[in-house]
Amino acid sequence: MRIVAQRAASGSVSWEEAGARKVATIGPGLVLLVGAGPDDDETIVRRMADKLIDLRVFADDAGRMNLSLIDVKGEALIVSQFTLFADMSRGRRPSLLGAGDPKRAEELYEAFVARFRERGIRAQTGSFGAVMRVSIENDGPVTLVLSSDDWPTRV
């Protein structure tokens, strides 16, 4: 599982569904771009979700990053992002063959979202597999990259 996490003052995602425009928004919290890989399972999903929920990336009264998403009663905007598994080591077009099976990836994505909700986080999502527009008002900026596998990023 690969995740780009951004601390946000606000965030939104929009997409077209059945001829209508859909929008999901959050206030202060985390915007998470999430990709599930072929070797991921429910144990990894739970570990990654809990790590992000408990990660102390929000400022306390002294301005230090000491507070978690739960501490600040923050929200999460969780957007599927299979291109996190793109291989750019050859050529000029990213290869997306390293992404997980779409059906299984959607199950893991839904389990990831469910874990946030189980822990009391208001979690908003886009539409898995849809073409979406994501807006992030990055706060800090604080951007973190998490991976459950060895992530070769060399080009």
User: Is the pLDDT score of 69 beyond 80?
Assistant: yes
Distance, in Å, from the CA atom of 105 to the CA atom of 139, rounded to the nearest integer, reads 29
Q: Do the Cβ atoms of 33 and 3 come closer than 8 Å? A: yes
Residue 94 banded pLDDT, cuts 50, 70, 90: confident
Q: Which of 6, 25, 43, 82 is catalytic?
A: 82
Q: Which of 81, 85, 124, 125 is catalytic?
A: 81
Distance, in Å, from the CA atom of 154 to the CA atom of 80, rounded to the nearest integer, reads 23
**Known catalytic residue at 81:** yes
Residue 100 located in a structural domain: yes
Task: Give me the CATH number covering residue 7.
Answer: 3.50.80.10
Work out the percent of the chain whose per-residue pLDDT is above 70: 97
User: Is the pLDDT score of 73 beyond 90?
Assistant: yes
Q: Could you report the per-residue pLDDT of 44-56, keeping only the tens digit for each?
A: 999 999 999 999 9
pTM: 0.93
Backbone angles phi, psi at 13, to 5 degrees: -140, 140
**Known catalytic residue at 83:** yes
What's the confidence (pLDDT) of residue 154? 57
- Kind plus residue range of the DSSP H or E element containing 142: strand 133-147
**Known catalytic residue at 153:** no
Residue 140 located in a structural domain: yes
Helical ranges in 55-127 per DSSP H: 102-118
User: Is the pLDDT score of 65 beyond 60?
Assistant: yes
Distance, in Å, from the CA atom of 144 to the CA atom of 111, rounded to the nearest integer, reads 21
Residue 60 located in a structural domain: yes
Parent domain of 72: 2-147
Distance, in Å, from the CA atom of 139 to the CA atom of 128, rounded to the nearest integer, reads 25
DSSP state of 101: P
Q: Could you report the per-residue pLDDT of 1-11, keeping only the tens digit for each?
A: 999 999 999 99
Split into its structural domains, the chain has a count of 1
User: Is the pLDDT score of 152 beyond 80?
Assistant: no
Higher pLDDT, residue 97 or 105? 105
For 37, half-sphere exposure in the C-beta direction (CA atoms, 13 angstrom radius) is 17
In this prediction, residues 67-85 reach a mean pLDDT of: 96
Residue 94 located in a structural domain: yes
Q: Worst-scoring range by mean pLDDT, 57-61, 62-66, 85-89, 119-123?
A: 85-89
Residue 25 located in a structural domain: yes
What's the confidence (pLDDT) of residue 153? 65
Place of tokens 């990023």: 153
Distance, in Å, from the CA atom of 25 to the CA atom of 122, rounded to the nearest integer, reads 11
Residue 92 located in a structural domain: yes
User: Is the pLDDT score of 155 beyond 70?
Assistant: no
Residue 141 located in a structural domain: yes
Three-point CA angle 115, 118, 122, nearest 5°: 90
